[in-house]
Structure 1
C-alpha cells in the first residue's frame, strides 16, 4: 500500500474535508449521526468559538494515494501546564494511519513543551470528551461522541493507557423510581428548599448563576477547567434555541442558588436524516421538529451541587428533586428516555444516582487516555 502522508489543515477546503471525514468512515454504521456541518465549522473556528482565546490547536489530515483516510487534533492549554491534549480522532482501521496521525499530534505537542498527552477531547473537557469503548449498539445523544469499535485498540497500540472513564446512564421515565428513591421523595421536603425552573425573562442572569454553580461544584473534579465569561456568552447564545425553560431547574436553599440541572432535547434524534446538511430543506425540517417537540429522548447534560453541600444529606437529596422535575416535565413533553451523562468514574455520589435511576450499570462507557511524551 502507498505511504501515509500527513497534512496540516490550512484552508477552508481542508477544514471541510476534516469535518466530513467521519461520515464516510461510518457510512455502514446504523447508529452514527452526522453532526451538523454548520455547527462543526463554528466549533472548530477561532473566529466563532471563544475556547480558542484559551488554547492553541492544530488539525491534521492523513492521506493515502491522494485520498483522506484519517484526522486528529492537538490542543495546548496553558491552564493544564505540561499536559497536552488530542481529539477528533477518526481514521480507517489501519495501524499505519493511526501511527502517522498520533506522530504528528505528539510532535506538535512536544514542540509546545508538553510532557504528557491526554484525550480525546473535542476540543476540551467542557465539550465532547472521551472515546466510546462500550455501547456501540445505540445512537449517541446530543454532544456525545460515537466511535467505531476498532478505534480504542488502535489508540492503545500507540502506547495510550486509561486515565479515566466516563459513564452514561439511560433512564426510562415511564418506569417508577426504585422503592428506596420513592420513599425519599415521599418525605416532606426539607425546610428552605425550593426547586424552580429558570426565569426565561432573566435568561442571561440565570445562565450566569448556573455557570457559577457549575464552576464551584466541579472545581475539585478530575480534569476540571472553569468556564470563562467569553465561553458563558457563547454558551448562552448557542443553547438558547435548544433550551426548554421547563427542562432547566435551579434548586435554592434558604433563598440562595445551591444546585442546578439542565436537560436538553436530543438534537441528534431530529437531525439523523439530514446527513449534516441544513440546505436546501434541513433548516425547515429542524425548526419544525423543534417547534413541534417531536423528540422522544433527551440528555441531562449539566448538573451540579455547590461544594458546601457535597457532604450533607441535603446535597444528596437535591439532585433527586431536580431529576423528579425532569421526569414530570419530560412525560408532559412526550419524552420517553433521558440520558444522564457524562459521569466521572471517580464521582461516586453521581454514579450512585445514575445506577439507581438507570437501572444499574451504565449503558455507555467513554475513555480518556494518557501517554507520557518522551523528549
Structure 2
C-alpha cells in the first residue's frame, strides 16, 4: 500500500527537499541543489508559469510512513505540443518498479483529469535551462541547475512505457587540450585586420556588454527554431543578477570597428562551490560561500551562449575569438575544463558548432514522453 500526500505544509515541503539527500547519501557525485532554487519554482509569487498553468507536488509513502518517492505534476497552456501534454518533474524514487509505476499512474490520472493526452518528463515547471531531463549517460557531478539521478531511473521510465522524445547532449573539452589548427589559422588571419578586436566582459561596464549581447543574440538566433528575441533591459537585469559570479576572464566579445559581431559567454560552474553548502543558503552559508569562492579553486567553467551574427558566420571569426580567449584564460584562471549547457539532438546546427569547437559528448540526458493512448504513433521531437 502506498499513501499519497500533497505537499502543503512545512514538514512536507522539508521532506520533499530532504528525501533525495537521504536517497543519494552514499553517491559521491550527488550535489544537493539549493533549497531556495527548488522552492522558488513552486512559489506562485516567484514563478510566472503559475499565471498560465497549474502545479502540484506529491510525496509517496509506504505503510511504515517512510517516503519512497516524490514528484511534481503540472500543466502549462504555453507548452505547445502535437497533443495536450502535461509535465512531470523532480522525480525521485527507490529502486522499485511497482512504486515507480504507481507514481507514474498517479501522474497520468491527474493529467487526464485536466484534459492532457501525454506527459513529458522529467522536466521543469519553468524554462529549459534548469532541472530538465533524465541523466542517462555520464554519471559525474552535475552542473549547477542540472538534474542528477541514479542509472536505474532510466529503467523505471522505460519499463513504464516512456519513450525518448529527445536527447540532451553536453559537450566538453579540457582547457589545455590542443586547439584545432583551424582556430589558430583563423586567429592569425583575423589578427592582421586592424578593424577586428576581442574584449573580455567587464563588470564595471555591464550596460555596454548587455547592449552588445542583445544585438548579437537577436541577430544570431533569429533564424533558429524556438529562437527568442531578447530585450536589452532583460539582458541587463540578467547580467546584474549574475554580477557576483561573473569571471571577467572567460566571457568574450569580438568587434568589427567597435560593432559587436560575436560572443562567447561562460561562467564558473557554481556547483563546484555550492556542493559545500548542503543545499542551504542562509547567512551562514553565504559567508561560507564567500570563503569557499575565495580559497577553493574552481576548475570547471560552463558555456552558456555562443553566437556569431549572420554576416560573419562561416568566416572563421569564432576561431579568432576562441583562441584569443583561451590564451588569456589559460594564464589568468584555474579552469581546467569547459562544458557546454545541453544541446537537443533535434538541433543539428548547434551540434555542428559544438563539434567544431573540438568538444566531445561527456554526458547525455533525455526528455521522455508517454502517450496516454498507446495505440497512437510516437514521434520524436522534430528537427530544427
TM-score (structure 1 length as normaliser): 0.84
Other-structure match for 1:336: 336
Contact 1:200 / 1:245 at 8 angstroms: preserved in 2? yes
C-alpha spacing 1:212/1:178, structure 2 compared with 1 (3 Å) = closer
Larger mean CA deviation between 101-110 and 271-280 belongs to: 271-280
The superposition leaves residues 345-367 of structure 1 with CA deviations (integer Å, 9 ceiling, x where unpaired) of 233343234335455x4011111
Equivalence for 2:350: 350
What's the C-alpha RMSD, in Å, of the aligned pairs?
3.2
- The answer to which of 279-288 and 145-154 deviates more is 279-288
**Partner Cα distance (2:122, 2:350) in 1:** 23
**Is the contact made by 2:171 and 2:363 (CA closer than 8 Å) also made in structure 1?**
yes
Partner of 2:266: 263
Cα 1:240–1:99 shift into 2, 3 Å: farther
1:24 corresponding residue in structure 2: 22
Assess if the C-alpha contact under 8 Å between 1:195 and 1:249 holds in 2.
yes
Answer whether contact 1:211 1:232 (CA < 8 A) is retained: yes
Choose from 126, 132, 135 the match for 1:129.
132
User: Residues of 2 paired with 1:209 and 1:126: CA distance?
Assistant: 22
SS of the residue corresponding to residue 33 of structure 2 reads coil
Residues 198, 246 of structure 1: 8 Å contact kept: yes
Question: What is the alpha-carbon distance in structure 2 between the residues aligned to residue 304 and residue 184 of structure 1?
Answer: 17
Counterpart for residue 77 of structure 1: 76
Pairwise CA distance, 1:33: 0.9
Aligned position for 1:167: 169
- Mapped partners of 2:232, 2:53: distance in 1: 15
Aligned-partner SS, 2:102:
helix
SS in 2 for 1:183: helix
Is 1:277 the counterpart of 2:275? The answer is: no
2:370 equivalent to 1:371: yes
358 and 87 in structure 1: CA distance in 2 versus 1, 3 angstrom threshold: farther
Higher gyration radius (CA): 2
Deviation at 1:202, TM superposition (A): 4.6
User: Distance in 1 between the 2:160 and 2:11 partners?
Assistant: 29
Query: Can you list the C-alpha shifts for 1:325-357, whole angstroms capped at 9, x where unaligned?
Result: 552343211111111221222333432343354
Query: In the aligned structure 2, how far is the partner of 1:228 from the partner of 1:68?
Result: 44
Matches within 5 A, 1:40-59: 40-59=38-57
Deviation at 1:304, TM superposition (A): 3.5
> Does the aligned pair in 2 maintain the 1:142–1:266 contact within 8 Å?
yes
Aligned to 2:4: 6
Aligned partners of 1:50 and 1:231 also within 8 Å? no
**Whole-Å Cα distance in 1 between the matches of residues 157 and 141 of structure 2?**
22
CA distance in 1, matches of 2:97, 2:18: 21
Shift of the alpha carbon at 1:285? 2.1
Whether the aligned pair in 1 keeps the contact of 2:144 and 2:269 (CA below 8 Å) is yes
The CA deviation at 1:319 is: 4.0
CA contact (8 A) 2:89 2:122 kept: yes
1:167 is paired with a residue whose SS is strand
Matches within 5 A, 1:138-157: 138-157=140-159
1:234, distance to aligned residue in structure 2 (A): 7.1
CA distance in 1 between partners of 2:117 and 2:288 (Å):
47
Cα distance in 1 for partners of 2:355, 2:261 equals 23
Judge conservation of contact 1:142–1:299 (CA < 8 Å) in 2: no
Alignment length, in residue pairs?
367
Asked whether the 8 Å contact 1:265–1:295 carries over to 2, the reply is: yes
Q: Which moved more, 1:125-134 or 1:200-209?
A: 200-209
- Kept in 1: contact 2:187–2:317 (CA 8 A): no
Matched residues in 1 for 2:202 and 2:145: separation? 25
CA distance in 1, matches of 2:248, 2:210: 11
Cα–Cα, structure 1 residues 227 and 121, in superposed 2: closer, same or farther, change >3 Å? farther
Structure 2: 5+ residue stretches without partners: 375-384
Aligned partner of 2:314 in structure 1 is: 313
Give per-residue Cα distances to partners, 1:119-158, cap 9 Å, x unaligned. 222333132321111111x211222221100001111112
Asked whether the equivalents of residues 9 and 15 of structure 1 are also in contact (C-alpha less than 8 Å), the reply is: yes
